[in-house]
Amino acid sequence: MTEIDWAALHDTAVEASAKAYTPYSRFPVGAAALVDDGRVVSGANIENAAYGVTLCAECSLVSALIMGGGGKLVAFSCVNGAGERLMPCGRCRQLLSEHAAPGMLLDTVSGIRTMAEVLPDAFGPGALDDYAAQTAGTQQTGAAGG
Ligand code: THU
């Protein structure tokens, strides 16, 4: 794997944070990631008057990843408006996990960590595949207790 330029990734996350739309929290977040094909994708949080509809920076980063041609995330950096390292929230760890390359690294408040360290025993597509394989040919029930 190519050497990861963490400083450049951090700078891209800081640039992204400047584009955040945060009229409600006034808490800008920027995220940047290296993709397995060498691209760098980024995102910022986009808030909404309906607070729960807010998109985290990681969400817009994953949108950029997919719309830019897909691929797997190799290295990830996230910052607040002061350029300080920020941990992805729990939902965003799940979001990143789906698109992580094996061994994906994150620049965290406690050093460089793997995706598996920040989201151990993650739920993923494998759980769906396993269940489908176990239940293949059996009757599916839509309703609870059915
Ligand atoms: N936020 C992110 O963008 N990513 C995270 O991982 C944590 C939280 C945003 C959401 C909201 O716009 C603001 O930070 C305050 O919660």
Looking at residue 89, which CATH number applies to its domain? Answer: 3.40.140.10
Residue 133 included in any domain: no
Does 146 have pLDDT greater than 60?
no
Positions marked catalytic: 58
Residue 85 included in any domain: yes
Question: Binning pLDDT at 50, 70 and 90, where does residue 141 land?
Answer: low
How far is residue 31's CA from residue 79's CA, in Å, rounded to a whole number? 6
Averaged pLDDT of the chain: 95
Residue 128 included in any domain: no
Question: Binning pLDDT at 50, 70 and 90, where does residue 65 land?
Answer: very high
Task: Give yes or no for residue 79 CB within 6 A of ligand 1.
Answer: no
Residue with more model confidence, 128 or 142: 128
Task: Give yes or no for residue 44 CB within 6 A of ligand 1.
Answer: no
What is the whole-number distance in angstroms between the Cα of residue 42 and the centre of ligand 1? 14
Helix and strand counts by DSSP (H, E) for the chain: 5, 5
How far is residue 109's CA from residue 71's CA, in Å, rounded to a whole number? 26
Question: Residue 142 has what pLDDT?
Answer: 62
Task: Give yes or no for residue 29 CB within 6 A of ligand 1.
Answer: yes
Closest protein CA for atom 4 of ligand 1:
56
Residue 25 included in any domain: yes
Q: Which residue range(s) make up the domain with 36?
A: 6-120
Could you tell me how far CA 63 lies from the centroid of its own chain? 10
How far is residue 78's CA from residue 127's CA, in Å, rounded to a whole number? 28
Domain count for the chain? 1
Mean pLDDT of 31-52: 98
CA nearest 32: which of 59, 46, 12? 12
Residue 129 included in any domain: no
Residue 74 included in any domain: yes
Residue 17 included in any domain: yes
What is the whole-number distance in angstroms between the Cα of residue 121 and the centre of ligand 1? 23
Closest protein CA for atom 13 of ligand 1:
27
Residue 84 included in any domain: yes
> pLDDT by residue (tens digit) across 69-123?
999 999 999 999 999 999 999 999 999 999 999 999 999 999 999 999 999 999 9
